[in-house]
Chain A
Amino acid sequence: MAVETRPDVGLPQGVGRLTIRWKAFLLVALAVLGFGLFAYGYEQANGMSVTSLRSTGTMGGATWGLYIVMVEYFIGVSLAGVAIAAVSRVFRIIELRPIARIAELLTVASLMVGLIAVIIDLGQPIRGIKNMLLYARPQSAFFGTFTLVAGGVFLTALAYLFLGGRRDAAKLAEIPSRLQWFHRLWASGYTDSAEERDRHRRVMFWLSVGIVPLIVIALSTEGLVFGVQVGRPGWFGSLQGPDFLVLAAASGLANLLILSAIIRRALGDWNRIDAEVFKWLGRFLLVAASAALYFMIVELFTLLYATPSNERLLADALLKGTYAWIFWLSIGLMTLGLALLISQAAASKWRIGTLVVASVAISTAAVAERYLTVIPSQTHANLLPYEPGSYFPNWVEFSVVAGLFAFGALLIGLFMKAFPIIPMTDALILQDDGVEATNA
């Protein structure tokens, strides 16, 4: 087992080495998280009245606001990570191998953040956890979030991350360091025997085969949370599920791309994420973003032809009313992102910087699009003629959400200092003939 090490450091990829840059990152992330916690504490002490959230109808507010927008966004993002990891394994796309762990980590982190955001949105968070365990009803679309997303996808992603990392862990466990205990624990007795490799391949294959439909089902239930609402024009419809998935794929890929680019820079000399990875990500993103834009344009046309009714009111709010700037921003950004991708695809030249710009545009468009899914139907699409209202998040909500992002970044940042972010080896691509492929 040839473990790549350097003479001056014990562990690869900067694991265990706390650089100034990383400490600065840690400080910033902790500060943002801290402020987020303060904002949430303030909210808990005074009630959600300190947010911009208000009851729908007579109060003219939105009862689900930025928190739920971010729940939808984070859960959407989580899709891409584990899907990429799974797809790269099932279809043996070797080029994506370097970012497989990033993808898994992104899934774990964004799911964790997304599920925390669900709890944060509850009026009674403690009671929420307790009563869901005691009384959760399968009829409610939340049951899916609770069991399939929180239980299924999250645990599978964790299992994925864990099992996929055992071989690296076993190698690291041989290197003396303060983290040796952790690597030993993770390795959990892995010896890299042929049976073990074989078993690992089997497990990973079945997990991969299992997780993709699970994700599709689980995340569709997220769409169903909105889609089954007969009483809310703009929500009810069979497209909510697919719409959710497509946007999830686009935003997830965009975030994976951004994260990969950041890690690429952060790793410096350790970097093993080559341009080929971004090419692949770019292609996937191109497909996903095209589909997302397609859905948006279909929606736009539907809005343009909305009959004088609740849908008309909603359409007016989106096209030229309160939410027009967000609507056109999301379409503009998605178009911009897509244009950048197409131009690169056409030229067959994939530049990481441009890809990152496109990804930021697409990811932001996705947040905006989630916002437009969640909010206007509450303020402008009541079936009874309540006067239209408005909602825009205030500092408390923005702070809490910033804290959530910081928490996610912290998870990834901490992970990077505890474990190699790029797989050093990957049992999956080892062929039965025993040819050992290693990084480098």
Chain B
Amino acid sequence: MTKYSMAVDLDRCQGCRACMTACTIENNTVQSNHWMYVFRFEEGTFPETEMSFLPRPCQHCDNAPCVKVCPVGSRFKREDGLVLTDADRCIGCRYCELACPYGVNYFNWQKPEKGQYDVVDWKDDDLEAVTGGLIPPYRNPDLDELYGEEQRHTAGGGHAKGVIEKCTFCVHRVEKGLEPACADTCPTNALVFGDIDDPESPISAYLKDRSPWQLLDEAGTKPNVYYIGGKPPNKELKEIERPKATV
């Protein structure tokens, strides 16, 4: 069996958020929909201050609460571990968003082209001459394809107003044999991706001599994201440098 998982090495993470931008570009997600999110935390009082970072992709849980609550089977778990959303099936009830303890689900609050960083006019005539009017101009055609044995519309985001979307572990890349965009770009290789059931895979090798922990273990979600180093987040942490949310 194949089971795609990700390791996040907090001893290496610089909190730079390159993964977030790579994800946005690869998946054409709209502004403020951070499929990958990197927390930056401050803790304690001066001078006993500590800082930490925490990347938060979808955990692709084995016991995924979002899958359980989805009323129409738009959210589903594949045999290879990926938890995906069928953009054509979703009815936009946002139940998954509330069921998820990690906050990884994002809704398309408006027409996707409006949310594509529209402070810039992508419909500019001179630009259209180059891009053919595509919004965003870096639109990735892979995202229109159907994936997996199930042949469902699961890759990428920003497909339609009123549907939910979340991290897919870049299903369209994984099926090509590529890493997810976040892991691919990570400047310090703090994100390691692979098939955890394959002892030869990069992730298995990486986790072998390390002692990983999982996010919100107590929630019983059985995540497929493993954290190394750092420590589980607590409520004493103060989030800093939160991105601006614009819908």
Residues of A within 8 A of B (CB): 46-49, 53-61, 63-64, 121-124, 127-128, 131-132, 134-137, 139-143, 146, 225, 228-232, 235, 308-310, 312-313, 378, 382-387
Contacts and interface: CB of A to CB of B under 8 A. Distances in A.
Contacts of B69: 139-142, 228-229
Given A229-B98, A232-B101, A383-B101, A58 B216 contact: no
Interface string B21-35: 000000000001110
Contacts of A313: 235
Given A122-B92, A135-B72, A383-B101, 20 more contacts: A47-B114, A57-B37, A60-B245, A61-B245, A63-B98, A121-B93, A123-B90, A124-B90, A131-B74, A131-B89, A132-B71, A137-B73, A140-B69, A140-B71, A228-B69, A229-B65, A229-B98, A231-B219, A231-B221, A387-B242
B243 A58 contact: yes
Nearest to A145: B71
Interface residues of B, number: 59
Contacts of B37: 57-58
A46 B110 contact: yes
A146 B70 CA distance: 13
A230 B69 CA distance: 11
Given A47-B161, A48-B162, A128-B92, A231 B101 contact: yes
B72 A122 contact: no
Nearest to B88: A127
Nearest to A48: B109
Given A136-B72, A382-B103, A64 B94 contact: yes
Contacts of A230: 65, 101, 219-221
B247 interface: yes
B93 A122 contact: yes
A229 B162 CA distance: 22
B109 A47 contact: yes
B111 to A, nearest CB: 6
B102 A140 contact: no
Interface in B99-140: 99-111, 114-115
B235 A310 contact: yes
A48 B105 CA distance: 16
B239 A142 contact: no
Shortest Cβ-Cβ A-B pairs, 7 listed = A123-B92, A123-B162, A231-B101, A57-B103, A47-B110, A142-B71, A128-B91
Contacts, number: 170
Nearest to B105: A55
Contact of A229 (B41, B99, B111): B99
B93 A384 contact: no
Contacts of B92: 122-124, 127-128
B94 A63 contact: yes
Given A54-B109, A58-B245, A309-B235, A383 B94 contact: no
B182 to A, nearest CB: 15
Contacts of A47: 108-111, 114, 161-162
Nearest to B43: A385
A382 B215 CA distance: 13
A370 to B, nearest CB: 15
B216 A131 contact: no
A283 B247 CA distance: 49
Judged by DSSP, the binding face of A is loop
Contacts of A56: 97-98, 103
Contacts of A384: 39, 56, 101-103, 215-216, 233
Interface in B135-160: 160
B68 interface: yes
Contacts of B91: 122-124, 127-128, 131-132
B95 interface: yes
A54 B18 CA distance: 24
Q: Chain B CB within 10 Å — which of A55, A127, A128, A387 has the most?
A: A55
B146 to A, nearest CB: 17
Contact of A123 (B39, B108, B247): B108
Nearest to A137: B73
B71 A385 contact: no
B205 interface: no
28 contacts: A47-B114, A47-B162, A48-B107, A49-B110, A54-B247, A55-B33, A56-B97, A58-B32, A58-B242, A59-B247, A63-B107, A64-B98, A121-B93, A122-B93, A123-B163, A127-B91, A128-B91, A131-B89, A146-B71, A228-B69, A229-B99, A231-B102, A231-B216, A378-B98, A382-B101, A384-B216, A385-B237, A385-B239
Contact of A231 (B65, B73, B161): B65
A56 B106 CA distance: 8
Contacts of B234: 385
A48 B106 CA distance: 13
Q: Chain B CB within 10 Å — which of A59, A132, A137 has the most?
A: A59
Contacts of B220: 230
Nearest to B32: A59
Contacts of B98: 56, 63-64, 229, 231-232, 235, 378
B72 A132 contact: yes
A159 to B, nearest CB: 26
A385 B32 CA distance: 18
Q: Chain A CB within 10 Å — which of B33, B37, B91 has the most?
A: B91
A143 to B, nearest CB: 7
Nearest to A60: B245
A60 B243 CA distance: 11
B217 to A, nearest CB: 11
B237 to A, nearest CB: 5
Contacts of A137: 70-73
B213 to A, nearest CB: 14
Nearest to B111: A47
A418 B41 CA distance: 64
Contact of A122 (B33, B162, B245, B247): B162
A387 B65 CA distance: 23
B83 to A, nearest CB: 14
A378 B97 CA distance: 10
A242 B219 CA distance: 24
A386 B239 contact: yes
A55 B110 CA distance: 12
